[in-house]
Amino acid sequence: MKEQLEKIRQAAEQELDSCEDLNVLENLRVKFLGKKGELTAILKQMGSLSAEERPVMGQLANTVRAAIEEKIASRVQILKEQESARKLVEETVDVTLPGKKQDMGKLHPLTVTLNDIKEIFLGMGFEIAEGPEVETDHYCFEALNMPKHHPARDTQDTFYINENVLLRTQTSSVQIRTMENKRPPIRIISPGRVYRSDTVDATHSPLFHQIEGLVVDKGITMADLNGTLELLMKRIYGEDCQIRLRPHHFPYTEPSAEVDLMCFNCHGSGCSLCKNEGYIELLGAGMVHPKVLEGCGIDPEVYSGFAFGMGLERITMGRYQINDMRLLYENDMRFLSQF
Ligand code: DAH
C-alpha cells in the first residue's frame, strides 16, 4: 500500500507539473482526490490492514493528499498568472495609434438654403404655413382664378388622381388655405414639395420644391413686395446683388411680375451663364388679385396683398453655382460632401 501511495504521489506530481490548462487541472484533481479518485480507492482498502499498520498508512495517505492539494493550488496560481500575463500582452491598446474617423453627416444644400430662407422671413415677422401635397382642384387652380380649361393650367402638366384631386403643382394653394382660415394681417411663407409631369433634365424634375409667400394687410403695395424680395436676395446672394421686377402675367396676381437677379457672373452685361440676358429669372410674384381675395372672404376694397412663389432648387443652384438640378437628387456623396 505504501508503494501504491508513493506511486500516486509521483504520478500526480508529474501530471500536475506538465498541466498547462486550468480545466485539465480540475480533471486531474477529480482523478486523484475525488470521491471516485485513486487516493480514495486506496483508502477503501484500509480495512484489510492490521491495527498497527492502519494509523501509519492513514498518516501517509494524509501526507500524500496534502502534497497533491498543495501542488494543485500552486499550479492554479501559476496558470492564472500566466493567463493574465498573456492577456496583458494580447489586449494591449496602443493609445498612440490614430483614432477611427467617424464621418459626420451634413445638411443637404437644399435644406441649408431652406433653413436660411425660413430664418430671414421669421426675422421679418412671417409665420410658416403648411398645406397638403395631395390637393384638390379648388385650391390648386380654381380659387387662384384659374377655372377649368384656363390656358394657364397648360403650363403646369399635372399628376391627376381623379378629376378633382391632384398632386399640387404649386404651393400657391396654401395662399388660399391660409386666407380662408385667417383674417389679415397675414404674413406667411409656405415651403413644400410640388409635382409636375415634366421629364427629368438639367433644369426640370417631376418633383421639386417651392416657397410661397403671402402678405395681406391694409395698405400693402408693390413697394412692400420689392423691399421684401430685395432684402431676401441680399441675404442669400450678398449685399451687392440686384433684382429687377419685369411685367408678367399670373391669373392670381394683378399686376404680376417676374423677378430677376442681376447675373453675378457678368453684372448685367450679358454672358453665357445668363444666356446674354444680363439677368437670371428667379421667381414669380405680384399683387394678390382682387377676385382671389374676395373668393376667400377678404374685402379687396379694404385689404391688399402681395404674393410670390420661388423654386428652392433654382435659388440653391444660383447660390452654389450648380449647373445641373439632378445633382441635388442623386445623393452622390462626392457632390454632397462639397457643401
Ligand atoms: N405659382 C407660380 C409658379 O408655380 C409662382 C408664383 C407666381 C406664385 C406669382 C405666386 C405669385 O404667389 O404671385 O410658377
Mean pLDDT across 272-298: 94
Ligand 1 pocket, residues with Cβ under 6 angstroms = 170, 172, 212, 250, 253, 284-286, 307-309
User: Which atom of ligand 1 is the closest one to the Cα of 175?
Assistant: 12
Q: Is the pLDDT of residue 5 over 90?
A: no
Each residue of 138-152: pLDDT tens digit?
Answer: 999 999 999 988 888
Q: What is the pLDDT of residue 304?
A: 98
**Band of residue 205 on the pLDDT scale cut at 50, 70, 90:** very high
Ligand 1 centroid to 310 CA: how many Å? Answer: 7
**Band of residue 81 on the pLDDT scale cut at 50, 70, 90:** very high
Each residue of 119-133: pLDDT tens digit?
Answer: 999 999 999 999 999
Q: What is the pLDDT of residue 175?
A: 98
**Band of residue 40 on the pLDDT scale cut at 50, 70, 90:** confident
Question: Whose alpha carbon is nearest atom 7 of ligand 1?
Answer: 284
Ligand 1 centroid to 275 CA: how many Å? Answer: 23
Q: Is the pLDDT of residue 169 over 80?
A: yes
User: Which atom of ligand 1 is the closest one to the Cα of 253?
Assistant: 13
User: Which atom of ligand 1 is the closest one to the Cα of 310?
Assistant: 5
Ligand 1 centroid to 308 CA: how many Å? Answer: 5
Q: What is the pLDDT of residue 38?
A: 83
**Band of residue 6 on the pLDDT scale cut at 50, 70, 90:** confident
User: Which atom of ligand 1 is the closest one to the Cα of 194?
Assistant: 4
**Band of residue 23 on the pLDDT scale cut at 50, 70, 90:** confident
Cβ–Cβ < 8 Å for 206, 145: no
Cβ–Cβ < 8 Å for 250, 146: no
Question: Whose alpha carbon is nearest atom 8 of ligand 1?
Answer: 309
| 109: its cell numbers | 444644400
Question: Whose alpha carbon is nearest atom 5 of ligand 1?
Answer: 309
Ligand 1 centroid to 47 CA: how many Å? Answer: 112
Ligand 1 centroid to 182 CA: how many Å? Answer: 20
Q: Is the pTM of this model over 0.95?
A: no
Q: Is the pLDDT of residue 325 over 80?
A: yes
Ligand 1 centroid to 145 CA: how many Å? Answer: 12
Each residue of 147-166: pLDDT tens digit?
Answer: 988 888 877 778 999 999 99
Q: What is the pLDDT of residue 118?
A: 98
Q: Is the pLDDT of residue 243 over 80?
A: yes
Q: Is the pLDDT of residue 256 over 80?
A: yes
Mean pLDDT across 187-212: 95
Question: Whose alpha carbon is nearest atom 2 of ligand 1?
Answer: 309
Q: Is 242 or 49 the better-scoring residue by pLDDT?
A: 242
Q: What is the pLDDT of residue 25?
A: 85
Q: What is the pLDDT of residue 8?
A: 86
